[in-house]
């Protein structure tokens, strides 16, 4: 068995072990998947998942939809989730969450150093939060990781598939999709043609199934924005990008994906795990563990302390850069 396959096998086993205790929580597991699942069920029945009536229907079934947010996803996203909606809810939620965890853990394939990163995955709050709620953001972050691996391995057909999938959860995958398009244009345009072709096919099917979905979805998004409190932390992108400029390109894309879109929950900080992967070692483990300050500060009355995810990354990257510069100077002096 090749080292790559051994790693994938370990990741698969670890993903299952990670998921088992989460499923034992009686209240919480699958909460955010509920609207995804029952929205897809409405599509299967030939109904629109949008509008006040179906928002009320989802509100009766799902805790996150109680405030009337309804189904905030575009219809192409809904069509992609239809196969899982054919299964019973709990089994569907298990498969959905396991796919997200496994693909997210595949980020460890991007680096050579490994053992500390298994701890990192356990200690990083956004990853735990995304898995606990069965969040679509976790699954789409997993697709982003799959795209990065496909680019590294030059799997053009996998890259094309990810380019087609990622835009349908833009706040979780749009910038990764654009990076994939740029890579495909410069290196293998078959990936770009496949991504554009699959997206064209998907969009065409949605308009055949429900011609008025776009207008209905935009109206639903307006309702979502009125109900759900979000924050924009885009100014943090400036110091993060300046300090982290020497990190791999995929870490910088992760920074922009997190900072340039409105955020409302810790799972939005999932892309920052790429920064910790780039830093590596026990520094990354300690930095990831510092994310547990978030729930404690929230309970203490702090208003969405996003700096808990940002400041440690800034400090750790700055410290690493300072050490590398100092070592380079010392080596030059000895020569």
**DSSP reduced 3-state for 231:** strand
Q: Mean of the pLDDT values across residues 21-46? A: 85
* Residue 99 confidence (pLDDT) above 90: yes
Q: Mean of the pLDDT values across residues 67-90? A: 91
Cβ-Cβ contacts under 8 Å for 272 (sequence gap 6 or more):
126, 254, 255, 258, 309, 310, 313
Name the domain count of the chain: 1
- Write out pLDDT tens, residues 255-304: 999 999 999 889 999 999 999 998 888 888 888 899 998 888 877 777 77
Residue 120: pLDDT band (50, 70, 90) is: confident
Lowest mean pLDDT of 57-71, 76-90, 136-150, name the range. Answer: 57-71
Let me know: does 64 contact 35? Beta carbons within 8 Å. yes
- Write out pLDDT tens, residues 124-149: 999 999 998 899 999 999 999 999 99
Lowest mean pLDDT of 27-31, 185-189, 267-271, name the range. Answer: 27-31
pTM: 0.93
Structural domain of residue 255, as residue ranges? 3-334
Round to whole Å and give the CA distance between 319 and 279: 10
Burial per residue of 174-193, b for 16 or more beta-carbon CB atoms within 10 angstroms, e otherwise: bbbbbbbbebbeeebeebbe
Residue 124: per-residue pLDDT: 92
Torsion angles phi and psi, residue 146, rounded to 5 = -60, -40
Q: Mean of the pLDDT values across residues 152-162? A: 96
Residue 197: pLDDT band (50, 70, 90) is: very high
Round to whole Å and give the CA distance between 115 and 110: 14
Let me know: does 286 contact 272? Beta carbons within 8 Å. no
Q: Mean of the pLDDT values across residues 312-321? A: 85
* Residue 67 confidence (pLDDT) above 70: no
Residue 127: per-residue pLDDT: 93
Q: Mean of the pLDDT values across residues 162-188? A: 95
Q: Mean of the pLDDT values across residues 160-171? A: 95
* Residue 322 confidence (pLDDT) above 90: no
User: Nearest to residue 137, comparing CAs of 59, 70, 77?
Assistant: 77
Residue 276: per-residue pLDDT: 92
Percent of the chain at pLDDT exceeding 70: 92
* Helix (H) or strand (E) segment spanning residue 324: helix 307-334
Residue 40: per-residue pLDDT: 95
Residue 202: pLDDT band (50, 70, 90) is: very high
What residues does 92 pair with on adjacent strands?
Answer: none
Q: Mean of the pLDDT values across residues 17-29? A: 78
* Residue 320 confidence (pLDDT) above 90: no
Residue 45: per-residue pLDDT: 93
């Amino acid at each position: 068995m090749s080292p790559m396959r051994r790693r994938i096998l370990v990741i698969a086993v670890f993903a299952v072990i990670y998921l088992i205790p989460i499923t034992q929580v009686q209240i919480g597991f699958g909460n955010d998947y509920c609207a995804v699942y029952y929205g897809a069920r409405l599509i299967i029945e030939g109904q629109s998942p949008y509008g006040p009536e179906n928002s009320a229907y989802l509100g009766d079934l799902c805790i996150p939809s109680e405030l009337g947010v309804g189904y905030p996803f575009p219809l192409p996203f809904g069509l992609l989730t239809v196969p899982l909606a054919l299964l019973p809810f709990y089994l569907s939620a298990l498969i959905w969450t396991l796919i997200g965890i496994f693909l997210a853990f595949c980020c460890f394939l991007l680096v050579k150093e490994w053992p500390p990163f298994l701890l990192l995955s356990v200690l990083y709050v956004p990853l735990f939060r995304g898995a606990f709620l069965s969040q679509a953001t976790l699954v789409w972050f997993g697709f982003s990781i799959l795209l990065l691996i496909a680019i590294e391995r030059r799997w053009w057909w996998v890259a094309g598939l990810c380019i087609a999938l990622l835009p349908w959860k833009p706040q979780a995958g749009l910038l990764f999709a654009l990076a994939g398009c740029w890579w495909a244009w410069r290196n293998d345009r078959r990936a770009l043609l496949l991504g554009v072709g699959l997206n064209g096919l998907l969009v065409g099917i949605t308009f055949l199934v429900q011609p008025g979905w776009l207008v209905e979805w935009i109206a639903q998004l307006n309702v979502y924005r009125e109900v759900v409190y979000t924050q924009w932390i885009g100014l943090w992108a400036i110091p993060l990008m300046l300090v982290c400029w020497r990190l791999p390109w995929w870490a910088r894309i992760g920074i922009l994906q997190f900072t340039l879109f409105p955020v409302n929950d810790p799972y939005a900080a999932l892309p920052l795990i790429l920064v910790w992967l780039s830093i590596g070692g026990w520094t990354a483990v300690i930095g990831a563990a510092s994310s547990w300050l978030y729930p404690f500060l929230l309970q203490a009355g702090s208003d969405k302390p996003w700096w808990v995810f940002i400041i440690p990354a800034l400090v750790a990257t700055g410290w690493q850069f300072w050490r590398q510069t100092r070592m380079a100077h010392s080596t030059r002096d000895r020569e």
